[in-house]
Every structure is written in structure tokens, then in C-alpha cells.
């Protein structure tokens, strides 16, 4: 049910309750992602507030929730390690400006053309790095400088546990295991009446209570008494840093990756509800303003995040008020109860991130690619994952994009896709002629979005010579969503490799 069909009071009630659920999901993740990024936890909380209050008010995707994302934790960790925390502010200011400019020039649709195999491979690689890095925090340690070193050192951490003495290492590991079991156990066995209570919250509470009850000497979260005291405004060397080529290159990488993750998340959120669709360029501008403010405040970068967004939809949110209120609750909590956050063991947050990172490594998506689209998309996924882990995030993405170009080679002489739109018998008809590859995805998605709600559609693919997995995923999702909303759709000429389109519209 959309917000337009409900009284304002009932709509606000649903947004209010949903905002509390999102707040409970966001709190441990904001702090945990900050720690995984190598910065104090309050930096993540500031980003969560800006993502909720500011970006929530301006967003082009009303039900998407923005905040610090695991997908950028690795690149931020490298920035802080190599260039220092002071470099993060100028980088985010430039990245935010680039996103605003991209939104103004209506480039949002092009980010949707990035191969899903590259995006999921990137997220899988990030998941491996988060698991490998936070694994050491479970043992009261710190992550090593790169992913391969973290992976190589994992067996040593386990072998170093002593069954006869319970020192800080064993105590931290106990807290981490309690947190992980609490989170997974709650998600598996929680009562239906409490289904909206997030597992991450239960895990953190369980780990914190065990540490407090037993008086364990484990490292805890260090949160300042005043959140405003942790805001680090740009220094007098700001102008010099803004024109530094290394700063600009890093800002380009963050703007690109954050925009891709945000807009793909927004597309996923659209598939979860039948309310207002995402305005991708407006969303890009809102994210840019958010990252610009995060840069000024010296906080973490933000993206639209699928975990918090899906919790928002599942909790019954109807408007942007839910995302905005969750930011208000974060602000109120850290202002009034900072001492409570300081009781949380670092190992508990590490446990949450280990589970979060593992879930990013979606082998299901790799099997999906292989089953429906063959070997090449699966190779793209695997190569992106391996390169992200073995080198760095940007190199992995560029390698994945480079391999994606191989999909174009057999069709290099006929890459053009002709999209003809017409009105027939009170309905719409779209005819596709040529090769539907990721380079044509913005044109194709724009044409589909022009089909009026409630009309009928005849999609003619008789002259469609080729359909790559990027366009196939987008078309299938669009057809399934419109069919679920009641649109009558006929796919003409869908034979052979295009049969999934007919199935999606049936």
C-alpha cells in the first residue's frame, strides 16, 4: 500500500516505528564500519546522522537509507593508512562535488550500466577483506596492512589460543563468538512478533552483557562525551590538498564506487515496494551533498545501504520521514547516552562485521550468473573478487570493467540498439533492434520508464540480436515488477536465449 492511500497520521505512525527499527540496525553498523575503516567510531555516527537527516530529506529514493557502508571501509582504511586521517575530509569534499555535478548533468543512469557481475564481485572482495581484517579484532588485535597478510595470519590467531589460560585474547574471542551466535541464533529462532528486532542489536547486547557481567578486561569502544567535539573542520591547508593529484584521483574513485553502490542499492529497494520510484539523478545530487558535508565534518563517506534500506521497507516505512527520523534518533542517543556506547566491546562489533562481510560474499550470485548467462559473467565476478583482495578496490573494479568489454567483442560491428516507441490500441509498444549491451542500458531503461502506469505494453524483441547479462537483469527485474503491479505485458519474439523475458512477463 502506498502512502497516498493512507491518512497522514497512519503514514507517520508507520514511518515512526520503521525509523526506530532502522536506528537499531544502524547504530552497531555505523560504529563497526568506522572501526573497520581505521577511524574512531564517532566518525561513523556522524555520517549516519548526515545520511539520515540531510540526505533523507533530499533523496531521490525516499525509502533508501544512507550512511557509512561496508563497501567503502577498505578504501577508507587505505586512505587513512597511507595519507592520514586529515586527507579524508578534502577527498570527500571533492567526491561529493563530483557526485553533485554528475547528478546535475544527469549521469545517474550510466552508473546503472555497470555490469552486475563487477558490482557483486567488488562486494564479494570487500566481504573477504572485512572478514579477514575483523577476524584479528576478534582476538583483541588489529588488522594488518593488507588483505593477503590478514588472510595469511588467520590460522596463527586460532592456533595462538590457549585452552589453559583466559587472557585478553581468549576473553575477546569469547565475546566475539557470543555476539555471532547471538546474532545468528536470533535471526534463526526469533518469534514472529519480534521479527523486526535486528539480529545485530541482539548480538551486540549479548556480547556487551557477558563482558560487563564477568568483568572482562577487553578493549571497548571509545566514544567522546560530546559528539560535536569530534567534528574536525578542514585546516588551513585545504586548498593545497584539493589540488593535490593523489587527492583528486582518490576522490574520483570514491565518487565512482559510492555512486555505483548507491544507485544499484536504490534499484534493489525499488523492487521491494510499489511506492515512488527512484529519481537517480536527484539521488546522486543528494548523496553528493551528504558526502560534501561529511568531508567538511571530517567523517566517513556515505552511500545508500541495502541492509538498512531493506529493514526500512520491511518495517513498513512509507515516506522519507523514516530515514530522516533514524538520523535524529542517532543524534539523540549519542548526545544523551555516550557512556552506554563506551561499554560495547570492540570484539562484539568485530563479530557483527565478520557476519556482515561473509554475507557480502554471495556465491549464490555467482551460481546465478553461470546458470543464466554462462561462463564469462562468472569469470568477471571471480576476477573482480580476486583482484580486490590481492591488490586494491579500484584496481579490482577496473579489471572487472575491462573484462566486461570482452562481451562486446563479438558484436563490435553492431553495438547500436534502436529503441522504437509507439502507441497501439490504447497501450504502448517498444521494439528493440540490434544488440542490447550495457552501453545501451541507459537508453533502454529511460524508454521503459516512460511507459505510463496502468497501461498495457507490447515488447517486441524479434529483431534483438543480442542481450548481455546487464540488460537482461534490468529487463527481467522491470518486467517482474510491472507485472506484479498489475501491468499487462506481452513479449513478442522471445525465443531461445530470450525466453526468460517471456517468463518474466507471463
- Per-residue pLDDT tens listing for the chain (506 residues): 455 555 566 788 899 999 999 999 999 999 999 999 999 999 999 999 999 999 999 999 999 999 998 878 888 998 999 999 999 999 999 999 999 999 999 998 888 788 889 988 988 998 999 999 999 999 988 888 888 999 999 999 988 888 777 888 999 999 999 999 999 999 999 999 888 889 999 999 999 999 999 999 899 998 888 888 888 888 888 888 888 899 999 999 999 999 988 988 888 888 788 788 889 999 999 999 999 999 999 999 999 998 899 899 988 899 999 999 999 999 999 999 889 999 999 999 999 999 989 998 989 989 999 998 899 999 999 999 999 999 888 889 899 999 998 888 877 777 789 999 998 777 899 999 999 998 899 899 889 988 888 889 999 999 998 899 889 988 988 888 888 878 899 999 887 767 777 777 67
For residue 368, give its domain range. 363-410
| 71 domain residue, yes or no | yes
Q: Let me know whether 421 and 373 are in one domain.
A: no
Distance CA 70, CA 128 (A): 11
3-state secondary structure of 372: helix
**Nearest residue to 473 (alpha-carbon basis) of 87, 228, 68, 117:** 117
Instruction: Please say which residue of 410, 438, 467 terminates a domain.
Output: 410
Q: Let me know whether 188 and 68 are in one domain.
A: yes
Q: Let me know whether 385 and 426 are in one domain.
A: no
For position 461, which CATH number holds? 3.30.750.24
β-strands 427-436, 456-467: how paired?
parallel
Which stretch of DSSP H or E encloses residue 430? strand 427-436
| 346 domain residue, yes or no | no
Work out the end-to-end distance of the chain between its first and last CA atoms, rounded to an integer number of angstroms: 23
**Nearest residue to 46 (alpha-carbon basis) of 243, 244, 378, 290:** 290
Q: Let me know whether 298 and 315 are in one domain.
A: yes
- On whether the CB atoms of residues 32 and 67 are closer than 8 A, the answer is no
| 356 domain residue, yes or no | no
Burial 371-410 (b: 16+ CB within 10 A, else e): eebeebbbbbbbbbbbbbbebbbbebbbbbeebbeebeee
pLDDT of residue 7: 59
Q: Let me know whether 172 and 269 are in one domain.
A: yes
Q: Let me know whether 326 and 426 are in one domain.
A: no
| 5 domain residue, yes or no | no
pLDDT of residue 102: 96
237 contacts: CB under 8 Å, gap ≥ 6: none
Instruction: Please say which residue of 395, 410, 425 terminates a domain.
Output: 410
Distances (CA, A) of 93 to 90, 166, 281, 495: 5, 46, 19, 50
Q: Let me know whether 174 and 99 are in one domain.
A: yes
pLDDT of residue 303: 96
Q: Let me know whether 337 and 370 are in one domain.
A: no
| 354 domain residue, yes or no | no
Cell readout for 267 is 534499484
Q: Let me know whether 17 and 127 are in one domain.
A: yes
pLDDT of residue 302: 96
Count of structural domains, the chain: 3
**Nearest residue to 60 (alpha-carbon basis) of 201, 328, 255, 263:** 263
Q: Let me know whether 274 and 422 are in one domain.
A: no
Q: In terms of C-beta distances under 8 Å and separation of at least 24 residues, what long-range contacts does 402-406 make, across chains too?
A: 403/376, 403/379, 404/115, 404/117, 404/118, 404/380, 404/438, 406/376
Strand partners, 304: 66
Backbone φ/ψ region at 493: left (φ over 0), alpha (ψ -120 to 50), beta: left
| 458 domain residue, yes or no | yes
| 4 domain residue, yes or no | no
Cell readout for 311 is 529493514
Q: Let me know whether 423 and 385 are in one domain.
A: no
Distance CA 15, CA 320 (A): 8
Q: Let me know whether 276 and 299 are in one domain.
A: yes
**Burial of residue 364 (number of CB atoms within 10 Å: 0-12, 13-18, 19+):** exposed
| 287 domain residue, yes or no | yes
pTM for the predicted model, two decimal places: 0.85
Instruction: Please say which residue of 286, 306, 341 terminates a domain.
Output: 341
E strands of 164-317, at which residues?
A: 303-305
Amino acid at each position: 500500500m502506498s502512502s497516498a492511500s493512507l491518512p497522514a497520521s497512519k503514514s507517520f505512525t508507520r514511518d515512526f516505528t520503521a525509523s526506530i527499527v532502522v536506528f537499531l540496525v544502524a547504530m552497531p553498523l555505523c560504529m563497526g564500519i568506522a572501526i573497520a575503516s581505521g577511524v574512531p567510531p564517532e566518525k561513523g555516527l556522524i555520517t549516519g546522522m548526515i545520511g539520515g537527516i540531510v540526505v533523507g530529506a533530499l533523496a531521490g529514493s525516499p525509502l533508501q537509507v544512507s550512511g557509512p557502508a561496508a563497501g567503502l571501509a577498505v578504501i577508507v582504511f587505505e586512505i587513512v593508512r597511507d595519507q592520514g586521517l586529515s586527507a579524508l575530509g578534502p577527498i570527500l569534499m571533492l567526491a561529493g562535488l563530483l557526485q553533485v555535478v554528475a547528478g546535475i548533468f544527469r549521469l545517474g543512469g550510466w552508473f546503472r550500466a555497470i555490469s552486475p557481475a563487477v558490482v557483486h564481485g567488488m562486494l564479494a572482495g570487500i566481504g573477504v577483506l572485512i572478514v579477514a581484517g575483523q577476524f584479528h579484532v576478534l582476538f583483541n588485535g588489529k588488522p594488518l596492512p593488507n588483505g593477503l597478510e590478514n588472510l595469511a595470519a588467520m590460522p596463527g590467531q586460532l592456533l595462538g589460543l590457549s585452552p589453559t589460560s583466559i587472557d585478553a585474547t581468549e576473553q575477546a574471542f569469547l565475546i566475539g563468538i557470543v555476539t555471532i551466535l547471538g546474532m545468528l541464533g536470533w535471526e534463526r529462532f526469533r518469534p514472529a512478533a519480534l521479527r523486526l528486532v535486528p539480529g545485530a542489536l541482539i548480538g551486540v547486547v549479548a556480547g556487551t552483557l557477558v563482558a560487563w557481567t564477568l568483568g572482562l578486561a577487553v578493549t571497548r569502544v571509545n566514544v567522546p562525551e560530546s559528539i560535536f567535539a569530534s567534528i574536525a573542520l578542514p585546516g588551513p591547508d585545504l586548498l593545497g590538498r584539493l589540488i593535490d593529484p593523489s587527492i583528486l584521483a582518490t576522490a574520483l574513485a570514491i565518487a565512482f564506487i559510492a555512486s555505483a553502490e548507491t544507485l544499484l542499492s536504490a534499484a534493489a529497494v525499488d523492487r521491494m515496494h510499489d511506492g515512488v520510484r527512484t529519481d537517480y539523478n536527484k539521488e546522486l545530487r543528494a548523496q553528493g551533498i551528504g558526502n560534501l558535508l561529511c568531508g567538511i565534518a571530517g567523517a566517513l563517506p556515505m552511500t545508500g545501504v541495502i541492509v538498512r534500506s531493506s529493514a526500512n521497507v520491511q518495517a513498513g516505512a512509507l515516506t522519507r520521514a523514516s530515514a530522516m527520523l533514524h538520523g535524529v534518533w542517532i543524534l539523540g542517543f549519542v548526545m544523551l547516552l555516550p557512556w552506554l556506547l563506551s561499554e560495547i566491546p570492540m570484539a562484539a562489533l568485530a563479530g557483527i562485521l565478520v557476519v556482515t562481510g561473509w554475507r557480502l560474499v554471495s556465491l549464490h550470485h555467482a551460481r546465478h550468473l553461470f546458470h543464466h548467462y554462462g561462463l564469462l559473467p562468472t569469470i568477471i565476478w571471480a576476477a573482480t573478487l580476486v583482484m580486490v583482495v590481492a591488490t586494491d578496490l579500484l584496481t579490482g573494479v577496473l579489471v572487472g570493467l575491462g573484462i566486461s568489454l570482452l562481451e562486446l567483442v563479438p558484436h563490435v560491428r553492431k553495438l547500436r540498439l534502436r529503441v522504437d516507441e509507439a502507441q497501439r490500441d490504447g497501450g504502448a509498444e517498444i521494439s528493440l533492434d540490434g544488440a542490447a549491451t550495457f552501453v545501451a542500458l541507459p537508453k533502454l531503461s529511460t524508454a521503459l520508464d516512460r511507459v505510463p502506469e496502468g497501461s498495457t505494453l507490447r515488447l517486441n524483441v524479434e529483431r534483438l540480436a543480442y542481450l548481455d547479462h546487464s540488460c537482461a537483469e534490468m529487463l527481467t527485474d522491470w518486467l517482474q515488477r510491472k507485472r506484479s503491479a498489475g501491468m499487462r505485458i506481452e513479449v513478442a519474439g522471445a525465443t531461445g536465449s530470450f525466453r526468460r523475458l517471456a517468463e518474466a512477463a507471463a
